[in-house]
Amino acid sequence: MKVLALLGFLSVAAALHDSTIDVDSFTGFQVYRIQPKNAEDVTYMRMLENRPIYDFWTEISLNRNVDIMVPPQFHKQMEADLAARGLSFEVIIPDVQVLIENEKVKAVSREKASADHAMTWDEYHTLDDMYSYLDYLEATYDFVSTESIGSTSEGRDMRVAKICKGGCGGKKAVWIDGGIHAREWISPATVTWMLRELVENDAEHSDLTETLDWYFLPSANPDGYAWSRDHNRMWRKTRSDHNSIFGCLGVDLNRNWGFHFDEGGSSYDQCSEAFHGPEAYSEPENINVRDFVFARKNEIVFFNTVHSFGQLILLPWGYTSHEVPEDYEQMLQLATMGQEALMDVNGEFYNVGCTPCILYKASGISIDWAHGEAGIEFVVSMELRDLGGFILPSDQIIPTAEEVWAFHTTVLREMSARRK
């Protein structure tokens, strides 16, 4: 019996963490919510995190909710683990597969699909569909061009849409990327909706394109995104192979940046969702973004990397809880203005603050690099809506994008006014 239990443990762990294996269904997978009350609870939960059958959807932090996805055959084990520590819990998602099936249902569309491209915002689309939309914009609007900034480890192009009236360069600029974590599908959906709003409704806010250049990277992790769609909906990392003896593939791109790399809040464990890679910039995806952004660091004044979930507006530093940047108060003031505008759209509240202040410590992250090394004036990482965790119904795409767009327009117009 012990041998059979061990084999079951290993098979489930391999399916969740080895990206050569399909996970056909998450039927019966539950998400448990626990809140550590003291340092001993945190230590205990970090021990649980080392068990690969448990997929931690949120980082472990004192007095904050920790959400953990557990396969059905290990519910009793999880509950026994928690009871042994005296930790109470609630099951916030009784069946992950139900959410995945609901996610596939198209929302009631506000508009007709275009004959010129495959993108809509009433469902979640493939990378090819997103790229078809970039092709359409480039062919239709004379101030839109696209560029492949490089390839992924599996050879997929990383395409940036460039919105530049009068040619790129010479104006202040905006960088927005999405999908750095593969399973966060609402991120690229939101980024492409904002791209559409900026370009196709230009007449309604032409000041934003007259005074600024814009760079959109819809998917910063194309390989992982493709895998999350075709093989394992909950896949997070890249698909690179760093010779794990357990067959665990991929790196967390948002722990792989070279500014304060590997200073806590990341992992050496190749099977961990927060594996930072064997060294900084081990991933071509990060190198591609780094080189593109750094070449324009004197123009880019606004940098946003869009994530989910948690409804947060995160500022640097992430690598330390002991200090913030010298200009933190200026960034906080701008972010708070954007938060208020966001909330005015649909009434949703997003908490604002430095990353460890309202979430957790994380080193090697892109906003720290963008502010600390590239010197970009305003940097932020947004965690979008969290109804259902990473699995957000498609009818939430447009409302989410509308409120995030309000954040951008408010902050950018305020920054522009302050430069005058």
8-45 residue pLDDT tens: 444 454 455 554 445 778 999 999 999 898 989 988 88
Indicate left, alpha or beta for 28 from its phi (over 0: left) and psi (-120 to 50: alpha). Answer: left
Q: State the residue for tokens 């019996």.
A: 1
Structure tokens at 169: 């360069």
Q: Please tell me the least confidently modeled range out of 54-68, 175-189, 235-249.
A: 54-68
Secondary structure letter of residue 128 according to DSSP: H
Q: What is the distance between the alpha carbons of residues 282 and 288, in angstroms, rounded to a whole number?
A: 11
- Give the per-residue pLDDT at 53: 84
Is 127-419 a domain of CATH 3.40.630.10?
A: yes
CA 23, CA 266: separation in Å to the nearest integer?
A: 25
More confident residue, 65 or 15: 65
Say whether pTM exceeds 0.85: yes
How many angstroms separate the CA atoms of 416 and 412, rounded? 6
CB atoms within 10 A of CB 369: 27
The pLDDT of residue 184 is above 90: yes
Neighbours of 415 (CB within 10 A): 19
Q: Which residues contact 206 (CB under 8 A, 6 or more apart)?
A: none
Domain 15-103 and domain 127-419 have a common topology: no
Query: Could you tell me which CATH class the domain 15-103 is placed in?
Result: alpha beta
Closest CA to 241 of 127, 183, 154, 155: 154
Residues belonging to the active site: 383
| Nearest partner of 232 among 1, 77, 417, 21, judged by Cα | 21
User: pLDDT tens digits for 401-419?
Assistant: 999 999 999 999 999 999 8
CA 89 to chain centre: 26
3-state class (DSSP) for residue 154? coil
Per-residue pLDDT reduced to its tens digit, 115-149: 889 999 999 999 999 999 999 999 999 999 999 99
8 Å CB contact between 351 and 313: yes
Per-residue model confidence (pLDDT) at position 22: 56
Predicted pLDDT at 64: 82
Domain spans, the chain: 15-103, 127-419
